[in-house]
A and B are shown apart, each in its own frame.
Chain A
Amino acid sequence: MSENIKKINRRGVLKNLAGIVGGILALPAGRVCKATVRNALVSSPAPDAYDPTKHKWLMALDVDRCIGCGLCVEACQKENNVPQNNFRTWIERYIITKPKAGSGESRGETFVDSPNGGINGFTQSLVPKEDILKSFFVPKLCNLCEHSPCTQVCPVGATFTAPDGVVLVDKNYCIGCGFCIQACPYGSRFFNPETRTADKCTLCYHRITRGLKPACVEICPSQARVFGDLKNPVPDDPLQQFVANNKIEALKPNLGTGPRVLYAGMDEEVR
C-alpha cells in the first residue's frame, strides 16, 4: 500500500492536471476543424433567403371538391420519385350503402377502397349503383400533427417538426428502424426500399421554399386541395377563405395528436 501512495507525487498530479486542461482546450479547436470540414463537404444549393421560422404551412382538403381523378397522387409520385406501391398522398373512395329495408338504421355498410392509391384514377366500384346511399373521395396525406407521435418515437432525432410546421425526415440520419412508421396513426409514412429510410410527405419542401405550391396542389384540377402560409396571409387568403366558408374537421381528433390538416365536408365514416 505504501508503494502505491508513493507513486502519486506532486509532479505526477501536475502532469495529469496539465493534460486535462490541454484536453479541454482541444475541444473548441476540434469543433472548429469539424465544422470547417463539414461545411466544405456538405453543399446546400437550396434558397438561402428562406427562413423556416417566418412561415407556417398548412394544407386544407375539401371533400366535396375532390373528383377522384388521382392526378395529385401521380403528380406527387413524379415530383418526389416515390417508389411504386408507396404513397405520400393517396385518395380513398368511401361508399356507404343504403340500409336494409326495415333495419331501422340510417345508413348501411361502409366500403373503403383505394386501388393503387388512386394513382390511375377510379373505375366503377363493385358495389352496384342502386345500392349506394352516398359516396365520396377523401384525399389523405401527412396530417402535420401538433403533437406528432412519429417524431417522439425516433431514437436518433432523424424526424422532426420543422419551425415552419412541416414534419420532415433527415435521410442522412435515419437508421430505418421503422418506429415512426408504426407510430403514425394515419399511415402516412412508409419504408423507402431505395434509400432504406422512413419516407413521408414533405409538403414538397423543395417547392414551397422556392415559392411554388406543392405538386398535388398545383396539379389538382378542382381546387380540392388548398395550401397557404398561416404566418403570411395574402389578400383573400385561400386558407382563411376555406375556414370561413366551411365546417372544419380533422382526422381522428380523439387521439390527441392535434392534426393540423383541415378537412371540410367529411362524413362520420371517414377515419
Chain B
Amino acid sequence: MFRLFKMPPQIIRLVLLTIAIVYGFSVAKELLTPPSFGQYGHYRGNALQEIAAREPYWAGRKTCESCHGAIVKKLAGAEHKTLSCETCHGPAQAHVDNPEVKLPKLSYSKCVRCHEALPSRPKWLHQINVKTHYAGLCTECHVPHQPNETP
C-alpha cells in the first residue's frame, strides 16, 4: 500500500488535483442542470409546459357555437361556411368571459379586405372592383352570414 506513496509528491499532487477538478465539474453540472433537462431530449422538459402556459387570445368557433349555435349552424349552410366567427367579428374572448361586453360593429372594410379584386387572388373567390361596384353599404344588397341571399 505504502509503495504507492513512494511516487514523487508532484505526481501525487497532480493526481489529487485531477480528481478534485473532475469531482468539482460533476458537482457543478449536477447542481446547475435543471431537473427536467433530458426528460425528452437535450433540453429542459419543463419548457414545454411553460410555453403552453400562455393564455389563448382567440376564443375559437367552437366556443362561439356553445351559445350562438343557431347562427353558426345557419352559417354552415352558406358560402361563408369556412369562416370562423372571429374572422369578421374580431377577438371575442372578452365577450366570452363577460357576455355584457359587446363586440364592435363591423365596417365594410371587413368585406373589402377579402373581396377586392386583385390579379393574385384565386379565380374561385368572388371579387369586386370596389370603386365601380357600388357606392353604398355592402349590407344593403348582401347578407354577410348568407351571402347568396338578399336582405
Contacts and interface: CB of A to CB of B under 8 A. Distances in A.
A169 B83 CA distance: 31
A52 B47 CA distance: 12
Q: What's the interface size class on A, roughly?
A: 35 or more
B118 A209 contact: no
A5 B54 CA distance: 64
B84 A218 contact: yes
A16 B62 CA distance: 68
Interface stretch (B4-12, B98-106, B133-141): B4-12
B125 A67 contact: yes
Contacts of B40: 52-53, 160, 162-163
Contacts of A206: 51-56
Contacts of A205: 48, 51-52, 54
Contacts of B8: 1
A207 B55 CA distance: 8
Given A168-B48, A221-B114, A20 B23 contact: yes
Interface string B40-52: 1111101111111
A212 to B, nearest CB: 5
A132 B119 CA distance: 8
Nearest to A124: B118
B112 to A, nearest CB: 9
Given A8-B5, A69-B113, A210-B56, A173 B23 contact: no
Interface of B: 5-6, 8-9, 12, 16, 19, 23, 26-27, 30-31, 34-35, 37, 40-44, 46-58, 60-62, 80, 82-84, 86-87, 91, 113-114, 118-122, 125
20 contacts: A8-B9, A27-B30, A35-B35, A42-B46, A46-B49, A46-B50, A52-B48, A71-B113, A78-B57, A157-B44, A161-B41, A162-B40, A173-B47, A205-B54, A206-B53, A212-B58, A212-B62, A218-B60, A220-B84, A220-B87
Interface of A: 1, 4-5, 8, 16, 20, 23, 27, 30-31, 34-35, 38-39, 42, 44-47, 50, 52-53, 64-71, 75, 78-80, 93-95, 121-125, 129, 132, 135-137, 157-163, 168, 170-173, 202, 204-207, 209-210, 212-213, 215, 218-223
